[in-house]
Structure 1
Amino acid sequence: MAYTVLARRYRSQRFAGVIGQQPVAETLKNAIASGRVAHAYLFCGTRGVGKTSMARLFARALNAPDTVEDAPRAEGVAYPPEDVQERMAQAIMSGQDMNVVEIDGASNNSVDNARQLIANAGLSPTANALYKIYIIDEVHMLSGAAFNALLKTMEEPPPHVKFILCTTEAHKVPPTIQSRCQRFEFRDIPTAQIAEHLRGVLDGEQTQASDEVLWQVARLGRGSMRDALSLMDRLLATGENPLTPRVLSDMLGLPQQSLVTGLVSAMAAGDLPGTLEGTAELLGRGVGQDQLTEVLIEFLRNLMLIAACGPGSELVELSEDVKPEAAELAERFDAAGLVHMMTLLENLQRSAKSSPTPRALLDATVVRLALSEKVADVAGLLAGPGGPGGPDGPGGKKKA
């Protein structure tokens, strides 16, 4: 039997299940309940944040509201029997419904495709459905001629036709099309919400995982639920249960959090041998230099957020297991010093790409990070008590 990836098997079946997009969900539900459903919608946002899932749910709620747990019923509307609605819902979610047509804008971008869509839109919906709904994914890929052909139909479509346009690049959709749509912005999903959803998915898969694994995968999703679920698919393919940081390191090349914390701790102590040895150990475990630099920047960012906002801030993207140790480590820095360290690492990222000796640049940079306290002390002596590098000036303090 063919395996279905997590992103498809755990696709949202109710509006509340589209993680991180509740403002959009509530607005669409209110539009249905109040009878104010527009003829065209434009869903904008990065990949994997729920645009197509929301479009399918909205289509189900319009034609088969009894199949969506939290969908309202419009007053005075006669819907088909429940068994008919169930068949509609299954066809909609599998992309096989005759009345809910999903079109890929990249492969159906010609003016002939647009004219065929317009011709079909004039036909009434079948099988007791109320609406014929067109979901056009990656709509920005349509040609200029195709957009022009759609203009009139999108402005004054037949009463039974609804358009839902989805795009990751809204700036490429002509203003003439955007002005005919109600536009909704889909936000990147917070790391904490992705991690929480991943926990529920693993429960369904009867697999255990540490908080560190969940948070690392959620962070790598970078706001995209689909990307995070794709990474989790790779981890589950190992057959390991429970999923541990070692599995994450072996499969994705990510360094273990304890090693990263140890390296930054050595930097904070000005321990040059410990800093260089910690860097060498991480590289020796198969972590690429670019990836190590990126992980260090991300960890220092979290320390900066802890130093500025406290460990309880929602901005801090660390698991509860890691937060206490990170909070102790953050006390050894100030926010200005952490910003300076992140800047040095960012400069390393750029210069290492064109250098014939990137490892030497990495070693020099981590040593410079470990020596930053002494450099600050020298700057303070040169600048005096009130200078920018002095003990009373900005950026001149690094806590012991």
Structure 2
Amino acid sequence: MLETLNIDVQKVAKSKISSVDFSDLPFGKVFSDHMLVAEYSDGEWKNVSIKPYAPIEFTPAMASLHYGQAIFEGLKAFKNEQGEAVIFRPEANFERFNLSAERMCMPTVPEDIFMKGMSQLIDIDNEWVPNKPDHALYIRPFMFSTDEFIGVRPSAKYMFIIFTCPVGAYYSKPVKVKFETTYSRSCPGGIGFAKAAANYGGAMYPTMLAQKEGFDQVIWTDSSKHEFIEESGVMNVMFVIDGKLITPPAKDTILKGITRDSVLTVARDWGMAVEERPVSVSEVVTAIEEGRLTEAFGVGTAATISQIAQITNGTKDYILPDPANREFSNKVHKELDAIKKGTVADPHGWIYKV
């Protein structure tokens, strides 16, 4: 646990927590009392503060609105069995945040601002961390360019903010997905591996079309021939085929998910065969048709494990084995929850106490 960062703190006069119904938390719509703010100019970070969560003022010429220099992360805090607030693998999010910053030609954020600032923010809003199954305090660090300038070049000024929101389950039921073979999320040499806002803006239209057809999400395929699986919406995707856990490799077109890495690590700890390799649409379809695919699921911070109940390829629907009876994905979901709660050992040091 890191020492408290010496920053300016302005607390709210009165918390709004008493007005929140914690039994009915729509994802990403209820926000905690405070936020951390830091500014970058003249080559250094400055004016680091924790202040009441509130709107921010900006100029219409702010660079990020025009040229897309904006990145973010997503992670969660939980209450363990002792009632302490803990964060799951924040160091990994910190490292990935700065990889995204470098790719988007933005300054990296120092560890003390990211880690210590986050810890102090959650300590102040400790009561906002839910203590019930499938609930957490979602943490959103993000950075955007703030130059008042119209011209295509990296900004000289940036703002880094962390805010939080208590959340329930992202998906309340197993999802229906389709292989996306018209539109692409990313391409080799692009920004698919970064948590850049542009990736998500570009994905909204094909996802909206799929949702109008009755699907919850799409499974993206490669941009050149749409033959190989990449990821699914806000999640990496995994399959259990012939008893092996199979997932596409993290590369420049696929986000290197932290939950993805956690699931693969636990699977290897358990002695399960794991393959990180290209996975074709045809391989998955054939495995379904031959009864060799027993599990398909998405993994990500928001949903943790999201069972896939149906996959559609073209006009053909494939109903997958009952999610309730899936051995590995249900077991690993319980294991990750138990690590977060502190009821089982944390052999990899993933839990960070606030």
TM-score when normalising by structure 2: 0.26
Greater C-alpha Rg: 1
TM-score when normalising by structure 1: 0.24
Q: Which has the higher helix share?
A: 1
Q: Which has the higher strand share?
A: 2
